[in-house]
Structure 1
Amino acid sequence: MTTAAAITKPTVLFICQHNAGRSQLGAHLLDVVAPGEFVSTSAGLKPAAEINPVVAESLHELGVDTSAARPRLVTEDDLADADVVVVMKPGLALPGPVAGRLVEWEFPNPEEWDLDGVRGMRDAVAAQVRELAADLTAAR
C-alpha cells in the first residue's frame, strides 16, 4: 500500500529580488527538466508587476507557457513549507528562516538584458537545475 508521504512531491522554491527573471527561469526550467517530479514555485523580495518579457520569450523558445506566471512576494510560510529553497543571488534578506534545504546560486539580474544575453543565462540556469533535480531524485 502506498502512503501519502511516499507520493508527495518535494516543493522547490526559487527566490530572487523581483521574481521576474532568475527565479521564474528556475521554476519553469525545473518543470521542463523534471516534469511532474517536483512542485516548483517562485517568489521575490520586491515583486515586479510582471515577468520580464525577454525572460518569458526565452522560455517560450523552449515551449514553456508563461502566460499564467505572476511575480509574487515570498512569505515566511513559503520558506517554512518548501523542501528546498534556491536563492538565485547569495545574501538575500529572506523574511524568515528556511525550514528545508537552502541552496545558493549566483546569477546576475537580467533586467536590462537582450534576448541573446538571457538565452545564455537560461541555459546556465537549466544546467544548475538539471544538477539539482538529479541530486534531489537520487536523495529520495
Structure 2
Amino acid sequence: MDEEALLTTARDAVGDSYAPYSEYQVGAALETNDGTVFTGCNVENANFSNSIHAEELALSKAVEAGHRSFERIAVSSDRRDGVTPCGMCRQSLAEFCDDDLRIICEGDGEPSVYTLGELIPNTISMEQLE
C-alpha cells in the first residue's frame, strides 16, 4: 500500500471515533512488514484516563493478530491539523518498532512524514530495564 492509500485508510478510521468529550476524532492505519493494515480510532471515556488512542488501538489489534514488525503508520484527525502520535503512543510504538518507523501525519496540505526516532529519541526499552 502506498503512503496516500495508508493515509486514506487512517482518514476513513476517523469516522469510527467515539469522542464526545474532546470532540477531536483521530484515526490511524498501521502497516505491518507483510503489508497487512490495522486501523484504530480514539475511544474516549468520561474519566479520560481510560480513553484509548487511535494508534494504540491499531497497534493492539496488530499484536493480538500476531504481528510484531511494522513498516509505517498514518495518522489523521477530523481537523486535518497534522496531529502526531502523543508521547504515550510514541512509547507504545517504540516497544515494537525501530527508530526508522515512518509516521505519516495529515495536515491541510501535503502530509508530514517523520521517523519514530525523530519524534521520540532515547525511548525506554527492555534493554534499559535489564
Q: How high is the TM-score relative to the length of structure 2?
A: 0.30
**Greater Rg, structure 1 or structure 2?**
1
- Structure with more strand by fraction: 2
- Structure with more helix by fraction: 1
More relative contact order in 1 or in 2 (CA 8 Å, sep 6+)? Answer: 1
Q: How high is the TM-score relative to the length of structure 1?
A: 0.29
